[in-house]
């Protein structure tokens, strides 16, 4: 009896000391706020199918990249949710596992823009495009082209992000009959825009505040933020210029060194499931990546919600992630020096 008691005590001690709880959780790195809530849509279905709980660690885009570099030999997350061009920096630094696309049962149903290479896959897309207050701009004001941001009506009324000037730089290069790679051809046009700019915003919250209080009734804005404001009753119109809107892609990658590789693959596959895609897009007001996703007529009619190959061809400006990640630091340095001072 004494031997049995000793054996049971030892077994209980071993069980108590084992990291069972952490082993049973898939850890996902994601932004906070509604972005975490969007990821939780995937997590809920993942837990339903696998029984494994999902834990989320949150932070800013570049803060999380820096943390991942520091913890490269012992990653604190199994899956990373980020923008695809930042995901390129993860893979370039050896921080992502190569995806086994044969295990992604939904991969063949995706739009081509979802394929971000061997190490990450796009889950949804959004746009940055001109948005304006219909109650504060002259009657009949429209933005049919990016060039309308240079019009007299916009002077002293425009805001745009300071953390990512790529959208306006890409637009200026197109208006200058050039390419983003030859962006310097658009510099004269960019400098002519300075009188139109009243403010630069540092976050989604600042962006929405400037627009909501009317301080900057024209803004280069994230479509998801625009639809959030419209849902709050702000009289706003988002336009797709004839040159196209600049697309961003929310993507998933698997952290190098994860001990839950199969579970991480399954999480990504579930994220691409057409039913889960529908829920994500209804929540964020974004575009699905799975062609088989059922998009409601109300959502499909919104600018920047792409549901056909034709829309992707004619309305979307999509840069290769390698180009985007290489040029963004250069663009930001130039923009800070020449446009913000």
Domain spans of the chain, in order of start: 25-125+248-316, 127-246+321-338
In this model, does residue 82 exceed pLDDT 50? yes
Q: Note whether 25-125+248-316 and 127-246+321-338 share their fold.
A: yes
Give the residue among 141, 144, 133, 153 at the shortest CA–CA distance from 241: 144
Q: Give the pTM.
A: 0.87
Q: From CA 90, how far away is CA 16, in angstroms rounded?
A: 36
* pLDDT at 23 (0 to 100): 55
Q: At what angle do helices 261-271 and 274-284 cross, to 10 degrees?
A: 70
Look-up of token digits 């892609």 = 249
Query: Domain 127-246+321-338: what homologous superfamily?
Result: Periplasmic binding protein-like II (3.40.190.10)
CATH architecture under which domain 25-125+248-316 falls:
3-Layer(aba) Sandwich (3.40)
Ramachandran bin of 126, using left for φ above 0, alpha for ψ from -120 to 50, beta for the remaining angles: beta
* pLDDT at 24 (0 to 100): 84
For 58-79, write each residue's pLDDT tens digit: 998 989 999 999 999 999 999 9
């Amino acid at each position: 009896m004494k031997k049995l008691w000793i054996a049971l005590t030892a077994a209980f001690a071993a069980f108590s000391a084992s990291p069972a709880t952490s082993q049973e959780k898939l850890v996902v790195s994601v932004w906070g706020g509604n972005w975490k809530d969007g990821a939780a849509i995937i997590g809920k279905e993942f837990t339903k199918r696998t029984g494994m709980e999902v834990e989320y660690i949150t932070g800013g885009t570049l803060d999380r990249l820096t943390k991942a570099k520091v913890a490269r030999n012992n990653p604190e997350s199994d899956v990373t949710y980020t923008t695809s061009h930042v995901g390129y920096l993860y893979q370039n630094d050896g921080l992502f596992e190569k995806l086994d696309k044969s295990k992604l049962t939904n991969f063949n149903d995706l739009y081509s823009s979802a394929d971000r290479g061997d190490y990450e896959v796009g889950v949804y897309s959004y746009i940055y495009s001109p948005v304006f207050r219909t109650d504060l701009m002259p009657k009949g004001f429209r933005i049919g082209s990016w060039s309308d941001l240079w019009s007299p009506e916009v002077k002293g009324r425009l805001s745009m992000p300071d953390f990512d000037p790529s959208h306006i730089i890409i637009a200026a290069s197109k208006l200058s009959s050039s390419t983003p790679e030859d962006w310097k051809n658009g510099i004269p046009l960019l400098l002519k825009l300075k009188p139109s700019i009243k403010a630069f915003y540092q976050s989604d919250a600042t962006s929405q505040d400037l627009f909501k209080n009317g301080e900057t009734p024209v803004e280069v804005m994230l479509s998801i933020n625009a639809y959030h404001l419209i849902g709050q009753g702000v009289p706003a119109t988002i336009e797709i210029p004839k040159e196209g809107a600049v697309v961003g892609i929310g993507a998933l990658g698997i952290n190098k060194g994860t001990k839950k590789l199969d579970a991480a693959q399954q999480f990504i596959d579930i994220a691409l499931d057409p039913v889960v895609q529908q829920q994500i897009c209804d929540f964020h007001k974004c575009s699905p990546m799975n062609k088989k996703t059922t998009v409601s007529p109300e959502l499909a009619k919104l600018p920047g919600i792409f549901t056909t190959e034709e829309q992707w061809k004619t309305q979307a400006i999509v840069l290769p992630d390698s180009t985007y990640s290489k040029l963004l630091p250069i663009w930001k340095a130039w923009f800070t020096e020449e446009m913000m001072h």
